[in-house]
Amino acid sequence: MDAYSDTLKSRQVQPAIDPGTTGTYPQPPSPPSDEENQKETAPLSLEPTLSTHPFFATSPGLQDWRSEPVDLRLCCQGCGCDDDEPDPDFGCTLLTALLCKRAGRVGNMIVIKSSIQNDEPKLLCVYGPFWPVLFCLTWPLILGVSGYTFYRLLHLEAPFYIILPWCALTGVLCRFLHRVSSRDPGILPRYREAPEESWRWNSQADTYRPPGAIFDKECGVIVEDFDHVCPWTGTAIGGGNMPDFQGFVSMVCVMIIVDGICSSGAWQFW
């Protein structure tokens, strides 16, 4: 019986001993303090928060630009050349996935700057899916025409009371374009329950939406008071940027006349 007990004791697995200690077993690590827990759990930026827990009413699927299937789309899948339904943004999403991997993403919108206000994310600078049209066509066109007009004013030796108002009007035009293209157009937060009876369920974004809020496939979000998507400004036009859009369109009409008068020298006959 004693031999059998000795055999059982010899077969028992002994805990490992830290070789750096003198025969004592290692102590378990102490639990982290409250400050360390806050540092480890606090998000480094708004992008991880939006990626893991979408706050806004967006289409289900990819939540960051790094996970966009670029390799598949480069093989013409989803670009319209072998699908029944063409790509609605004509490859702009693919270009964004290649060049803007570090930017935040809300649907197909590019989040450049954001903040947390009252425990809710707020988009401070966000561009739409057609940003290549904005930066490669709209801005060069406006700056090119304005540069030529300014050259003509200097060549014709225009007085300061002509140059200064023209510079002010051109600045207003550029400011309206910047504001309408970079402001939140009115992206709707996700509502799991209807705040009012007039709200309706939207299966494309899995949320309730108020009247006038529409899901836009190109932007991949629900926009409050949605009007349309303007490729010239690169983004959707809704309740958040409609005043700036109206100001931009008005200033375009004004500057067509003003630039024509200034570049032709018609002001000399006044």
Give a yes or no: residue 232 inside a domain.
yes
pLDDT of residue 43: 39
pLDDT (tens digit, 9 = 90+) per residue, 75-94?
444 444 544 455 555 567 66
In a domain, 40, yes or no: no
Give domain status of residue 54, yes or no. no
Nearest residue to 248 via CA among 167, 143, 175: 175
CB contact at 8 A, 131 and 234: yes
Quote the pLDDT of residue 67.
60
Cβ–Cβ < 8 Å for 221, 56: yes
pLDDT of residue 108: 86
| DSSP label of 213 | -
Q: Is the residue at 167 inside a domain?
A: yes
pLDDT for position 118: 81
Is residue 263 within 8 Å of residue 146, measured between CB atoms?
no
Residue 180 lies in a domain: yes
Looking at the domain assignment, is residue 162 inside a domain?
yes
Higher pLDDT, 61 or 83: 61
The pLDDT, as a whole number, for residue 96 is 66
Is there a contact between 260 and 253 (Cβ–Cβ < 8 Å)?
no
pLDDT tens per residue across span 197-255: 899 999 888 889 999 999 998 888 999 999 999 999 999 999 999 999 999 999 999 99
At 94, the amino acid letter reads L
Residue 5 lies inside a defined structural domain of this protein = no
Highest average pLDDT, of 22-26, 56-60, 87-91, 96-100, comes from 56-60
0.75 exceeded by pTM: no
The model's pLDDT over 152-167, given as tens digits with 9 standing for 90+, comes to 999 999 999 999 999 9
User: At 52, is the pLDDT very low, low, confident or very high (cuts 50, 70, 90)?
Assistant: very low
Domain annotation covers residue 151: yes
Show the domain range for 192: 59-263
Look at the chain and report how many structural domains it folds into.
Answer: 1
